Amino acid sequence: MNFMENVLNIIFPPVCGFCNEINKNFLCDKCKRKFDEIKISNIEDYNDIPVYFNEHYYLLKYENEVRDFIIKYKFQEISYLYKSFAKIIVNDEIFNNQFINKYDCIISVPIHNKRFKTRGYNQSKLIAKEVAKLCKKDFYDNVLIKSKNIVAQSTLDKLGRIGNIKNAFSNGKNSSFIKNKKVALFDDIFTTGATSNECAKILKQLQASNIGIFTLAKD
Ligand SMILES: [Zn+2]
């Protein structure tokens, strides 16, 4: 730890993102046990339906306290919570043994520039980047950009979501990075899969050799 990190640790000591207790791992044992109880980590295969990705890993069911935490994370400025979320993902056995080792690199679902300017951060990118760091995988930013600023998917039904998100993403300045790579794409919540699938469509056009989706929760 360098001097500046020491100073920052004194002013802003690392805390568990869920209960605020001081914890250098950003996840205390008590909260880890709680999440272990509500975990439903699983990998679903989508080879039989027309999607552009191969599989989908998710950690939690989007309900009750999980829902509260994610909403809190998405809409309030709680910068350290991403470290706690990343920790529970990389601590998960199925993620480790059956998912992430199949991929070369990690990217995240982008948000529109306008939204970034009002919110100040992309919640999915923070988690994805931290997961990449912990798993020692490359993280690529700006492979995709969100070129269409659409109405929030959460306000629409399934058909509405598919139409709304259609062609909302395009190539970013680093789009060539993923050619012939096995790409793990992170999004926070998987509801209908319309967002993930739209991103995967472009990754496929960019010649990613394999695409897996991983999300914190599944609705
Ligand atoms: Zn805790």
The ranges assigned to domains in the chain are 38-218
Per-residue pLDDT of the chain (219 residues; tens, 9 = 90+): 677 777 777 777 888 988 889 999 899 999 999 989 999 999 998 776 778 999 999 999 998 888 888 887 777 666 678 899 999 999 999 999 999 999 999 999 998 888 888 877 888 999 999 999 999 999 999 999 998 888 888 888 888 888 888 889 999 999 999 999 999 999 999 998 999 999 999 999 999 999 999 999 999
Query: How far is ligand 1, taken at its centre, from the CA of residue 84, in Å?
Result: 9
Radius of gyration of the chain (CA): 17
Query: How far is ligand 1, taken at its centre, from the CA of residue 19, in Å?
Result: 4
Query: How far is ligand 1, taken at its centre, from the CA of residue 31, in Å?
Result: 4
Q: How far apart are CA 144 and CA 131, in angstroms?
A: 19
Q: How far is CA 163 from CA 1, 7, 65, 150, 153, in A?
A: 49, 49, 30, 10, 10
pTM of the model: 0.91
- Secondary structure of residue 185 in the 3-state scheme: strand
Query: How far is ligand 1, taken at its centre, from the CA of residue 38, in Å?
Result: 15
pLDDT of residue 165: 87
Query: How far is ligand 1, taken at its centre, from the CA of residue 86, in Å?
Result: 14
Q: How far is CA 192 from CA 161, 171, 185, 215, in A?
A: 8, 23, 16, 12
Query: How far is ligand 1, taken at its centre, from the CA of residue 29, in Å?
Result: 7
CATH (one of 3.30.1490, 2.40.128, 3.40.50, 3.30.70) for 38-218: 3.40.50
